[in-house]
Homo-oligomer: A and B are copies of this chain.
Amino acid sequence: MRTKFHEQLDALTDRLTSMCRLAGAAIEAATDAVVHADLRAAEWVFDLTEQIEAVRGPCDEQALALLALQAPVARELRQVITGVHLVTDLSRMGGLAQHVAESVRRRHPAHVSSGEAQQLLERIGRVAGEMAAVAARVLATRDPGLAAELDRRDDDLDALHAMLLGRIQDPGWTGGVTAAVDVTLLGRFYERFGDHTVVVGRRVIFLATGAQPPR
């Protein structure tokens, strides 16, 4: 039988799942904005990050209520604190998607990148979007195997990111310095987004089971 504590922890996890789905939608829209120099997609990102911030407050309150009303100790206390950290991680993922969208808006109607760099950014963006979707599934299912999957995807993302930096710094790069600066920052935002999904995966498993996921 589930205790009151576990019921409330499940309710918090459900709300965090919504936050993660919004962050995933935000990074997908941000990537569309990059690929098509699409200002409406960029504005949709700002809308989504507002929605994330709107869920953030209630999540924080739910975690505080759990601590205040259930006064958990030992493992259960650590589980709730993990939930508190998850709120911050998911909000940060939204913030990074917003940074991507801001870059697009700054250069519009020009593209923020072109050619091979843009193709790589699209691939990176798609992997980041998939990672957010996997992280949301980890939140929904509490499946440690899925959480480990995020580590593998992050290796893919890091390899694509290294390739992107290599292309910019190649003597054959003809995009100019301004585009190089933009692409460098975009790559960094996606890389951090991916890092956060990995952390989210690990934290969810701990939150749900009180056990560290397999590395």
**A binding-site residues for B, Cβ under 8 Å:** 64, 67-68, 71, 73-74, 77-78, 81, 84-85, 88, 165, 168-169, 173, 177-178, 180-181, 184-185, 188
- Beta-carbon contact of B188 and A178 below 8 Å: no
User: Could you tell me the distance between the alpha carbons of A146 and B36 in the complex, rounded to whole angstroms?
Assistant: 46
CB distance from A42 to the nearest CB of B (A): 20
Question: Can you give 22 A-B contacts (C-beta < 8 A)?
Answer: A64-B77, A64-B78, A67-B67, A67-B77, A67-B81, A68-B73, A68-B74, A81-B84, A84-B84, A84-B85, A85-B88, A88-B88, A168-B181, A169-B178, A169-B181, A173-B177, A177-B180, A180-B180, A180-B181, A180-B184, A181-B184, A184-B185
Neighbouring B residues of A180 by C-beta, 8 Å: 177, 180-181, 184
Contact of A188 among B71, B169, B185 (CB under 8 A): B185
CB distance from A164 to the nearest CB of B (A): 10
Determine the residue in chain B with the shortest Cβ distance to A181: B184
Neighbouring B residues of A64 by C-beta, 8 Å: 77-78, 81
